[in-house]
Structure formats: structure tokens, C-alpha cells
Amino acid sequence: MFAEPDDPAAVDRMRAARTMACAALGVTAPGVTALGVTAPAPQARSGTREAWGWRGRTLGGPVLGPYGLGWLRVVHSPVEKANGKLWTGPEEAERLVGPQVPRPRLHLVREWAEGRDAYRAELYDHVEGRAVSPTPVLTEAPGLSAAWWSGLRTALGRLSAVRTERAAVRQAYLDRAMPKYLAFLPGPVPTVPPAWSTAHGDLHWANLTGPQLAVLD
């Protein structure tokens, strides 16, 4: 999770989009309802009512709606870039990945545009527990159970069997990026992996929850 953007116009734009998303999906967020009445504040997974993405591209938070307590994620993009793997990834994951991989399920999606700005609203399950770390890097031992680690291994194994044409990392990237790290390594590093498989494209500690395992994003 990132900090609120420094640009007040971007903050206002995303909050206005969240209000529209709530109306379109029939949900209420803390302080956001179609009638202008303050809704109760459900407990967020991160302990906050707002969860900002990189450079304010996304805004997430807990909501109440047709599926009970949920999580609303609003995404912004210039209209000409409202496509591709970052835009359609959640729907593809919901369609391709089986329920055996523990994660917040995606229930509803709405898209709209205002001038040169495109928006996408996604309504997910609300996940119990908290992120293992507030940042991608651990600063202390996570204290997770053996069952949690076993569940993670099982989930990643099931994910590796999913068939998809989407690619997060390509051979050209490995050829370009890995030689940069040779100064830190004792010798040459082969850049061609022995095999390729499906994986989480952004797997890190802030995208895993505990003590109950869920895989986020």
C-alpha cells in the first residue's frame, strides 16, 4: 500500500470515482452513500479506510453490499491505456484460477470513462486477517504457522498448473536485467531458466495475509 498522492486533484478525482463506483455496484463505503448519509465503517484489512496504489492509480477500501462485507478497488487509467494485463488481470485471474487457491474472489466489475480518464471498479470478498507485512520487505519474523507455509506451497503449486498466455516476465527481460547484478555475484549467471510456469506476477509479503492465508492482487 502506498501513501495518498500529493496531487489534491488526483485525490479528489479518485474519491469521486469511488462514489460513482459505490452507486454503480450498490455498495456503501464509510462516508460514501448515494443519499449522502455516512455509512458505518467496517474494519479494513489494513486498519485504514483508504488503501492507495502506486501514484494514486488505485483506491481501495472496505464496503458493505450485496455480498456482505467486501473490498472495493477503483482503478484509473488514461483512456488509451485502459487495456492489457494490468487492466484485465483481475477478471482473467478469477476466470482461470480455481477456488483451491485462497484469495478474495471477484464478484462484480464496472467500467466507465470521463473524457480522457477511464475507470474500473472491482468488488471483492473482504479478507480476514492482515497483510503479513505493510511493505514488500519483511522487517521482522512473520511468526507464521507450519500449516500456513504448507498452504502457501500448495497454493503456488496449484497456480503453476494454470494455463495462460499472459506473461509477467519474459526471456528478453532476464537477458537484460540479470547481468546488472553480476557485480554482486561470484561469477556469471545463466539467464535461461530450465522451465517456465504460471506464477503470481507480484508475489511479496504485502500481498500475503496471515494468520489465515490469502493471496492478494
pLDDT digit string, tens, across residues 109-153:
999 999 999 999 999 999 988 999 988 999 999 999 999 999 999
116 within 8 A of 94, measured Cβ to Cβ = no
* pLDDT in the model for residue 20: 96
Q: Report helix, strand or coil for 97.
A: coil
Q: Who's near 24: CB < 8 A, 6+ residues apart?
A: 110, 112, 121
The pLDDT mean for the chain works out to: 87
CA 33 to chain centre: 24
Contact 99, 114 (CB under 8 A): no
pLDDT in the model for residue 108: 96
* Residue 70: how many other CB atoms lie within 10 Å: 24
Q: What is the pLDDT of residues 35-86, one digit of tens each?
A: 333 344 444 444 457 889 888 999 999 999 989 999 999 999 999 999 887 7
Question: What band does 1 get if pLDDT is binned at 50, 70 and 90?
Answer: low
Give the model's confidence band at 34: pLDDT under 50 very low, under 70 low, under 90 confident, else very high.
very low
Distance CA 58, CA 21 (A): 13
Mean pLDDT of 88-113: 94
Distance CA 211, CA 127 (A): 11
C-alpha cell at 133: 507485512
- Segment 185-211 shows an average pLDDT of 89
